[in-house]
Structure 1
Amino acid sequence: MKKMKKNSYFLMLWLMLATGALSCKKYLDAKPNKQLATISSLTELQALLDDHTRLNYQTVYAAEAASDDFYLTDQALNALSLEGDRRVYNWQKGNQFEGTVNGWYYSYLGIYYGNTILESLNEIERTNGNAAQWDNIKGQGYYYKGSNLLNAAMVWALAYAPNSASQTLGLPLRASVDFNVPSTRASLEDTYQQLLSDLKNACRYLAVQQVHVMRPSKAAAYAMVSRAYLMMNKYAEAALYADTALQLKSELIDYNNINATATNPFPEYGMEVLHHVTIANPAVLNQSNASIVDELYNSYAADDLRKKVFFTKLNNRNVFKGNYSGQTSLFFGPAVDEMYLNRAEGYARTNQLPKALADLNTLMLKRWDKTKTYVPYNSSDQQTVIAWVLAERRKELLMRGLRWGDVKRLNTLGYGIKLERKYNSSGAVLEPKSSGFAMSIPETIIDLTGMPQN
């Protein structure tokens, strides 16, 4: 009976994909609306990958909802329509993801798309005439597999620790579109090795230049490998892949040229964006409810333009508006500024302090009021430089789904970061070594598969 239920679940997913209209932006050529079962050309495969509604505008947001960069008042918390979001916010295990269309669903939907592409390519001959397009499509397939698995690991798995990863539960590794293959949880070691393999294959096959940042490029893939290695606290590798991404795209936005009073100060598809991935503003994270914690807001220097560009006042609350989406939706994709910080941390951790400081100061010069004197970061003490990089990382990359993963990885190093909800009556606390850093897998998935729960 469980096997039948499981097959029905995946059949429902197949039918949704097969019958759903493939979306396209105006910047793309019109593509035919085909069912997956009849895909037979590279044009049709690219049309599937250009389904931006599912691949670019939907991703798991729970990591940001659980972060300590913002708070909800009691009134805002009680007004949330999703009980699961309340439980994620307060780090309460169980029933954190409601219904069947949730963060888990979208994570594995992206993996399913990737597997569909890779399996379909086996039926299309690679020739001298189509090699570039064939390779680029293959790279996109690998990218969506690897990036979605990484996003899922940051939510539903504990932090990677090399001495225990092979004995720690990871995630199901869906290697094909075959509905009859049961889902079982791999080790955390195997999970990270799989997502690294997929993302490195994406680096190999993706085009350097895409028609639009809605499609992942080679630089985006390098960036995601760097992000994965940083989550593993493998600093030399994180710096290497960040450097490779920056060799392809390194220009930073000069915040002196940004209109700080604008409702949405950054342009859509701006120059720092490596791959455009956003999440439509869920209630738990939107400006009506989410306020930036005082300690973070007050950490910005007066002449740091981010304090004006990133935030606005709403009912005497500091709320975030600095989305690289160019809209109210939150930007969760890789970007150039993240790569400068990844490389800086990698250099600092490996005691290449002049390089780390150079990256940090390069970034800050683009964030500082040019009418004011900027005093460069400068120190020969490794721990001081690391602390500076981590402080700027939090101030630069807030509301991008990264803080939760940073806290997890830093706590494996002994940072002892305890998360507390101090701005409402819930009084929630998440201790540094809590199992709550691995969120509950949706109960519907546990029922369907029999996998062990976190």
Structure 2
Amino acid sequence: MSKSSILKNITIGLFSVIALSIQYSCEKFLDEKSDKKIATPSSLEDLSLMLDNYSMLNVRNPSVGEISSDNFYVTDNDLQSANERERSYYLWEKYDLTAGDWNGPYNNILHANVILENVEKFKNENIVLASTIRGKALFLRAFNHYSLSQLYAPPFDQNNADSDLGIPIRTTSDHDVKPFRASNLESYNAIINDVLGALPLLPSSPDQKHHASKPAAFGLLARIYLSMGFYDKAGVYADSCLQFYSTLIDYNTINANASIPFPQRNEEVIYEARTSSPSLLTRARAKVDTVLLSQYDDYDLRKSIFFLSNANGSKAFKGSYTGLSTSSMFVGIATDEMYLIRAECFARNGKILEAMADLNHLMLNRWNNDNPFVPFTASGQVEALEIILTERRKELLFRGLRWSDLRRLNMEDAARITLTRIINNEEYKLLPNSSRYVLQIPRESIEFSGIEQNP
């Protein structure tokens, strides 16, 4: 492949003319790495360097699901001063004018496809390294396709998955190949197959936490199957992840007064990924939901470590695993999420003692040692699920997971949730299973490709 072809494939958008800022970032990356021959991959080393492009591959994940969820609220004035895109998503209005949450993941998928198309050429240099690179690229493609599925395709419904429209699945870097929307079943199958293909190729532990590994792949499968409602498989894969890596942080060792309590790539992080920094989620604007705050016990260390007091008495979130003070969210894979997935799946399968054991193991590491933790107990499945899902929300807020949880839980009659905002004395509601749980595909992509828009 020629230098001009590689440059074209990396800098041109997938389904539309990519926003100039994204084009510039890609071009800048190529310029900076030109001495290392990234523009024309000619060795496994060059492909390895492409996977090391942290500022592109690990920090451009979507944030819009969190903006639309119920972990926080903003004042009338703060909403008014936000940009049109964020205002629209916060109020669950149709919006198709900007494409960052769509283009970012598809650019990462393009990056992965370039690597996958070139790795076979150089595998004789080092077969083991070539296999590892292939595994990491497959994981990267799956991680980004999955992120898109949680925003632009309907929640997975076994009864309609073969007819519901999913997302375009891209397996080529050729921008001349126009996209089409696979069914939701085909979309999820493609994502899962990529992760399964990556698993035997990945290292048992990450060489760097922004790279994929076996526990990261198992964790991603657990997350995927949880969103699909396949709780048997989600539990199995969460368990597989924890067999490889199960470290939890004892929050008694964390300085609750620190403005950034957790360092980047902390001990619980298995795979590091984060979003951009949306203005509505800054500490000055995003006030943590008061009902959610009221659920933390005074001896629950998350109450002091996760939250910062504002001058007006509200709380801001400071407990991100990004290690940053910005509004960028950690959306990677960590052990606390895996314990909660396994606990939930145990409960759904009637294994109440095992479910409570997983939850209590997590909570022992979250509880103030000055007041001994009293383990949770549950009399049956319903009570166990209620406790676990409550703790899941309290543990995983601002992780980009709440939107996916709302989508899947709203499909259960007993768990449906109506979201409400009040802005300028006007009430806005998002009803369970509303079409607004599926976002509009950017208009420029629709016009370029001719794919069908969401309702």
* 8 Å Cα contact 1:292/1:320 also seen in 2: yes
Structure 2 letter corresponding to 1:195: I
Q: What is residue 324 of structure 1 aligned with on the other side? A: 321
Distance 1:311 1:324 in 2: 13
Q: What is residue 81 of structure 2 aligned with on the other side? A: 79
Shift of 1:42: 0.7
CA displacement 1:341-385 (0-9 Å, x = unmatched): 011111111111111111000000000111102111112311100
Instruction: Evaluate the alpha carbon distance shift between residue 56 and residue 437 of structure 1 in structure 2; reply closer, same or farther with a 3 A threshold.
Output: same
CA displacement 1:396-422 (0-9 Å, x = unmatched): 000000001001001112222111114
Per the alignment, in what secondary structure is the counterpart of residue 122 of structure 1?
helix
Distance 2:15 2:217 in 1: 32
Distance 1:32 1:241 in 2: 41
Shift of 1:281: 2.4
Structure 2 letter corresponding to 1:181: V
Superposition misfits of 4+ residues, deviation over 2 angstroms: 4-24, 30-36, 422-426
Structure 2 matches for 1:189-338, cutoff 5 A?
A: 189-315=185-311, 316-328=313-325, 329-338=328-337
Distance 1:353 1:8 in 2: 50
Distance 2:367 2:203 in 1: 34
Per the alignment, in what secondary structure is the counterpart of residue 428 of structure 1?
strand
Q: What is residue 447 of structure 2 aligned with on the other side? A: 447
Structure 1 letter corresponding to 2:256: A
Of 97, 106, 109, which aligns to 2:107?
Answer: 109
CA displacement 1:399-448 (0-9 Å, x = unmatched): 00000100100111222211111466342111102100001111111111
CA displacement 1:231-286 (0-9 Å, x = unmatched): 00111111111111111110100001100010001111100001111124210111
* 8 Å Cα contact 2:222/2:237 also seen in 1: yes
Q: Identity over the aligned pairs, expressed in percent?
A: 36
Per the alignment, in what secondary structure is the counterpart of residue 308 of structure 2?
strand
* 8 Å Cα contact 2:120/2:130 also seen in 1: no
Distance 2:377 2:220 in 1: 29
* 8 Å Cα contact 1:143/1:216 also seen in 2: yes
Instruction: Evaluate the alpha carbon distance shift between residue 219 and residue 225 of structure 1 in structure 2; reply closer, same or farther with a 3 A threshold.
Output: same
Q: What is residue 408 of structure 1 aligned with on the other side? A: 407
Q: What is residue 27 of structure 1 aligned with on the other side? A: none
Of 104, 117, 120, which aligns to 1:119?
Answer: 117
CA displacement 1:168-194 (0-9 Å, x = unmatched): 111001111112211111111111111
Per the alignment, in what secondary structure is the counterpart of residue 125 of structure 1?
helix
Distance 1:351 1:379 in 2: 11
Structure 2 letter corresponding to 1:420: T
Superposition RMSD in Å? 2.3
Instruction: Evaluate the alpha carbon distance shift between residue 78 and residue 209 of structure 1 in structure 2; reply closer, same or farther with a 3 A threshold.
Output: same
Structure 2 letter corresponding to 1:317: S
Instruction: Evaluate the alpha carbon distance shift between residue 69 and residue 19 of structure 1 in structure 2; reply closer, same or farther with a 3 A threshold.
Output: closer
* 8 Å Cα contact 1:171/1:187 also seen in 2: yes
Which deviates the most, 242-251 or 199-208? Answer: 199-208
* 8 Å Cα contact 2:141/2:194 also seen in 1: yes
Shift of 1:33: 3.6
Structure 2 matches for 1:156-175, cutoff 5 A?
A: 156-175=152-171
* 8 Å Cα contact 1:6/1:448 also seen in 2: no
Q: What is residue 92 of structure 1 aligned with on the other side? A: 93
Q: What is residue 343 of structure 1 aligned with on the other side? A: 342
Distance 2:262 2:22 in 1: 37
Shift of 1:203: 1.7
Distance 1:5 1:48 in 2: 18
CA displacement 1:51-85 (0-9 Å, x = unmatched): 111111111111111110101110110111x2011
Distance 1:421 1:352 in 2: 37
Instruction: Evaluate the alpha carbon distance shift between residue 411 and residue 304 of structure 1 in structure 2; reply closer, same or farther with a 3 A threshold.
Output: same
* 8 Å Cα contact 1:31/1:44 also seen in 2: no
* 8 Å Cα contact 1:90/1:426 also seen in 2: no
* 8 Å Cα contact 1:265/1:326 also seen in 2: yes
Distance 1:451 1:346 in 2: 36
* 8 Å Cα contact 2:235/2:341 also seen in 1: yes
Distance 1:209 1:397 in 2: 23
Structure 1 letter corresponding to 2:321: Y
* 8 Å Cα contact 1:59/1:103 also seen in 2: yes
Q: What is residue 351 of structure 2 aligned with on the other side? A: 352
Distance 1:147 1:132 in 2: 23
Q: What is residue 17 of structure 2 aligned with on the other side? A: 9
Distance 1:50 1:374 in 2: 42
Q: Is 1:51 aligned with 2:30?
A: no
Instruction: Evaluate the alpha carbon distance shift between residue 23 and residue 421 of structure 1 in structure 2; reply closer, same or farther with a 3 A threshold.
Output: farther
Per the alignment, in what secondary structure is the counterpart of residue 29 of structure 2?
coil
Distance 1:156 1:6 in 2: 16
Instruction: Evaluate the alpha carbon distance shift between residue 10 and residue 31 of structure 1 in structure 2; reply closer, same or farther with a 3 A threshold.
Output: closer
Instruction: Evaluate the alpha carbon distance shift between residue 424 and residue 249 of structure 1 in structure 2; reply closer, same or farther with a 3 A threshold.
Output: farther
* 8 Å Cα contact 1:296/1:395 also seen in 2: yes
Instruction: Evaluate the alpha carbon distance shift between residue 135 and residue 379 of structure 1 in structure 2; reply closer, same or farther with a 3 A threshold.
Output: same
CA displacement 1:125-145 (0-9 Å, x = unmatched): 346xx2221111011110111
Number of positions where the alignment pairs a residue of Structure 1 with one of Structure 2 = 439
* 8 Å Cα contact 1:6/1:449 also seen in 2: no
Q: What is residue 28 of structure 2 aligned with on the other side? A: 20
Structure 2 unaligned spans of 5+: 1-11
* 8 Å Cα contact 2:18/2:103 also seen in 1: no
Which deviates the most, 5-14 or 297-306? Answer: 5-14
Q: Is 1:177 aligned with 2:176?
A: no
Structure 1 letter corresponding to 2:432: P
Distance 1:170 1:44 in 2: 34
Distance 1:303 1:183 in 2: 52
Structure 1 unaligned spans of 5+: 25-29
Which deviates the most, 441-450 or 416-425? Answer: 416-425
TM-score using structure 1 length: 0.92
TM-score using structure 2 length: 0.92
* 8 Å Cα contact 2:251/2:365 also seen in 1: yes
Distance 2:45 2:170 in 1: 25
Structure 2 letter corresponding to 1:202: A
Of 62, 68, 71, which aligns to 2:70?
Answer: 68
Distance 1:312 1:11 in 2: 36
Q: What is residue 8 of structure 2 aligned with on the other side? A: none
